[in-house]
Structure 1
């Protein structure tokens, strides 16, 4: 019986690690560094260029330099969508 409990725990742990390794969607906060071309600073080491950051039409019209934004990171971390300004 103890062997089955340990096996169950091991399977659960492996499943959790697999989900974490796949980098599921996540909210990311950043600051607009440039609007043309679009650049968003996420932290001191990471600035995203316009090839990785997308906006909706509504927000592309009102985003300005130094605006704080919240983004949705796509699974895998290669694409980011600005979903709103943070106030």
Structure 2
């Protein structure tokens, strides 16, 4: 009876593996332009297979600031107000050698790069 159970578990596991459900995958950026991510000897992902989150892209964000600059050291030391709505660029873009964490979508044809490994 136990042998039948083990065989049944193997069959179910095989079916699940064949469906390529969503799973976490790790890779290394080998090229930024065009984007390519090396996963293993059998798989290097091309840009057409990859989607990016903001965590791995350069992007701009609007922020409201309200402060003064520091007092200088010169003879006419003074400050300036720095306030209002300003655009700031966030530099999160991928570079060669980045280790990335991805989610493989159902079917295994698309991968979402969700973050970089922090070293």
TM-score normalized with structure 2 length: 0.58
Q: Which residue of 1 aligns with 2:108?
A: 77
Structure 1: give runs of 5+ residues left out of the alignment.
none
Structure 2: give runs of 5+ residues left out of the alignment.
59-91
RMSD between aligned residues: 2.2
Q: Which residue of 2 aligns with 1:59?
A: 56
How many residues of Structure 1 are paired with residues of Structure 2 in the alignment? 83
SS in 2 for 1:51: helix
Q: Which residue of 2 aligns with 1:37?
A: 34
Instruction: List structure 1 segments (4+ residues) > 4 angstroms apart after TM superposition.
Output: 9-16
Q: Which residue of 2 aligns with 1:50?
A: 47
Residues 48-73 of structure 1: CA distance to partner in whole angstroms, max 9, x if unpaired? 11000110134122211100001000
Q: More helix by proportion, 1 or 2?
A: 1
TM-score normalized with structure 1 length: 0.76
SS in 2 for 1:77: coil
